Amino acid sequence: MKSSAKSSSNYQKLALIIGNGNYRRSKNQLSQSIINAVELSTILKRMNFNITLYIDVRTSEELSENVKKFAHNIKDNDLVVFYYSGHANQVNNQNYLIPIYDDRIGTDTDVLDLACSFDSIFDRLVEKTSSHITVCILDCCKPFWRIGKSESHGVDGGRGLHEIQPIERALIQLSCAANKTSRDDLFSKKLLKHVAKENIDVRDLFQLITNDVLTQSNQMQEPLTINGIRQHEPVYLNKVMINTNSSVRIPNIAYNSKWKYTALLIAGGKNYKSTTNELYCPRGLCMSRDNQAIVIADTLNHRIMLINRRTKSLQILVDKNRNGYRYDSLSEPSNVICDTESKQLIISDYKNRRVLRWSPRNSAELQIIKDNIECRGLAMDNEGSLYISDTKRHEVRRYHNSDREGTVVAGGNGQGSDLNQLNHPTYIFVDRDQSVYVSDSWNDRVMKWEKDMEDGIVVAGNTDIGNNLTQLNCPAGIVVDQLGTVYVADHWNNRVMRWYNGASHGDVIVGNSHGLGNTVKLLNGPEGLAFDGDGNLLIADSYNHRVLQFDIRMT
C-alpha cells in the first residue's frame, strides 16, 4: 500500500516510511509498527515532507524496488528521511530488514536470500546524489524468531542490529543499543511525541528522545545515534520562521552546551547606590527583541533600568526617585517583561501589590493592570495572555485581554507541597505549548503544569532542601529551551543549574554551591535569567548588585 503528499519547500523534504507488521508467522507480528508508520507519515506531512508510505512489504525484491523508485526523486540538497518499523536480523555483522514473508527464514542463508540488507538500501538512497542529508530511523530492535527457534531455545531472537559505522552526511538512529533488543514501542512513542518540535537540530532532537526513553525505561533501553553530519552543519526536520513580535522567547541551546567560567560585567557591581550607573539588588530581567538591550528591575532602588549591551551604559526608564504607594511610584519592583507586540513593559510592583503597564510613548504614566496581588513572576504566551504568580495565594493565573479575574493555571489549592499545590511561587516561564514552569521557591523545586492540567510535575529539585545535584535551595529565575531543558537560578546555593528533560538530577553550569563571592566567577544570590540570541547567559547577580554575562563556549 502506498500514499504520497507533496512538499511546498524551496528544497525537497522527502520521507520514505515503511511499516511491516502482518508477518506470516504469528509470533513475529507487530501491529503497532503499522500504526506508528501511519502516524509518523501524518506528522511529517504536516511538516511539509513529501511522503512515500509502504505498509507490509512482502519480499526483499519488493522492498528494493520501492527504495529504488523513491530514490529516483532525490535531488541535490534535499533532506531525506528513511523510517523502517518492523523486524531485522544480523548475519556476519551485517544488518538485514525482514519482509513480512518470513515463513521460510530459518538459517543465516535464508536471511541472506530472503531479506534486504540495510547497506544496499542506504547505497540506493545516496547513489544518485551524495550532497543531501539523509536521516535513517530504524525501529527494528524487537526479537525476530526464525523457523525452528523459540524463546526457550537459543538466542536467535535476541540478536538485534549490529553496530553501524558513521556515514558522511547521514544520521542513523537505532531504537536501542547495538546487539540489543526491546519488546515495547517506547522509542516510537517518544519519536512521535517529539519529532515535530520546531527549530531543533536533528542531533539534539534524537538526544531529547534518547533521554526520554532512558528515563521511562529506568535506563534499560538506550537508543543509539550514529552521526556523520558535520558538527557545524545544522539540520532541522521542522524549521519554521519565528514571529519576532511574539513575547515568547524560546532559546535554541545545543544539547550539552557549556559556558565560560569567567563572566563579563555588564552593569553595576561597585556598590549599591541609587546613582544612574549602579544597581541595588536587581531581580527580574528581560532582553529586548533585537538583543541589544536588557531591561531590569532594580529592586531596592525602586526603579526599572535599561542597559545598553554595547556601551554598558544604564538609563532610567521608570523612576520617580521615591519609594511608596503612588500611581507614579514603584516599591521594590521584582520583575519586568517586554510585551513586544505593544512595545510596552509590564512591571511587577511587588510591595505595592500590583502589576503595571508602562509605555515609552507616555513615560510619565503607569497603568494598573492588576492590583491586590503579591506578584513576583510575569510571563506572556504566544496569544498575548499575561501570566502572574501570586506568592500570597500560592498560585499562577492567566489573564487574557480585559479578563479581571483570570484563570488558575498552576497551584491554587492552598499552600503546600502536593503536586496540585505551590508554596510561595516566584518566577515563571511559559513555552509555546502554553505549559507553565514555576519556581516553587519555598518547596525548593521547579514545577511544570501542562495546559489545562490540574496537577503539576516536578522538573527540577525536590522538597528536600540542599546543595547536591538533586536539590535546590530557593529556586529563582527560570528559562526553558527548545529541548525542554530547564535552567534555574539556585538562589541560596549561588549557582545556575541545568536540568535536562526528564532528568533526576541537574548539573551546575555557572557559580559554585560551596561558596559565594563577588569575583566574575562567583555569584551571590542569583535571581533573573535570560539568554540572548547567541546562547550567552545573562544573570541578575542580586546581592553583588550587578548583571553578568557568561558567554557560551564555541566547540
In eight-state DSSP terms, residue 415 is B
Give residue 269's pLDDT: 85
Residues 406 and 492 occupy one common structural domain: yes
Give residue 457's pLDDT: 96
Residues 172 and 309 occupy one common structural domain: no
What pTM, to 2 d.p., does this model score? Answer: 0.80
Strands 293-298 and 475-480: unpaired
252 in a structural domain: no
Residues 222 and 345 occupy one common structural domain: no
10 Å CB burial of residue 310 (0-12, 13-18, 19+) is exposed
153 in a structural domain: no
Beta carbons of 97 and 86 less than 8 angstroms apart = yes
The parent domain of residue 529 ranges over: 258-553
In the predicted model, residues of the chain with pLDDT beneath 50 are 3-9, 151-155
Give me the CATH number covering residue 198: 3.40.50.1460
Residue where a domain terminates, one of 228, 247, 282: 228
Residues 274 and 137 occupy one common structural domain: no
- Helix (H) or strand (E) holding 267, with range, is strand 264-268
10 Å CB burial of residue 194 (0-12, 13-18, 19+) is middle
- Amino acid identity for residue 30 in this structure: L
Specify the residue for cell string 558522511. 168
All three cell numbers of 64, joined, read: 528494493
Residues 213 and 285 occupy one common structural domain: no
497 in a structural domain: yes
Q: Round to whole Å and give the CA distance between 117 and 140.
A: 13
Give residue 294's pLDDT: 95
Q: Residue 116 CA to chain centroid, in angstroms?
A: 37
Q: Round to whole Å and give the CA distance between 114 and 321.
A: 83
Residues 297 and 166 occupy one common structural domain: no
Which residues partner with 5 through β-bridges?
51
User: What stretches of 496-548 show up as alpha helix (H) in DSSP?
Assistant: none
Residues 99 and 48 occupy one common structural domain: yes
- Helix (H) or strand (E) holding 164, with range, is none
Domain count, the chain: 2
Residues 204 and 350 occupy one common structural domain: no
235 in a structural domain: no
Give me the CATH number covering residue 500: 2.120.10.30
Residue where a domain terminates, one of 186, 208, 228: 228
249 in a structural domain: no
Residue whose C-alpha is closest to residue 337's, from 409, 447, 428, 432: 428
33 in a structural domain: yes
Q: Round to whole Å and give the CA distance between 259 and 529.
A: 14
Residues 62 and 198 occupy one common structural domain: yes
Q: Round to whole Å and give the CA distance between 157 and 177.
A: 15
Residue where a domain terminates, one of 228, 244, 271: 228
Give residue 286's pLDDT: 94
240 in a structural domain: no
Give residue 130's pLDDT: 61
User: What stretches of 341-490 show up as alpha helix (H) in DSSP?
Assistant: none
Q: Round to whole Å and give the CA distance between 330 and 319.
A: 7
Residues 417 and 321 occupy one common structural domain: yes
CA distances from 372 to 245, 304, 337, 531 (A): 30, 21, 20, 31
Give residue 129's pLDDT: 65
243 in a structural domain: no
Residues 188 and 299 occupy one common structural domain: no
Residues 321 and 207 occupy one common structural domain: no
Beta carbons of 24 and 103 less than 8 angstroms apart = yes
CA 187, 191, 193, 199 dihedral sign is: positive
Which residues partner with 437 through β-bridges?
429, 448
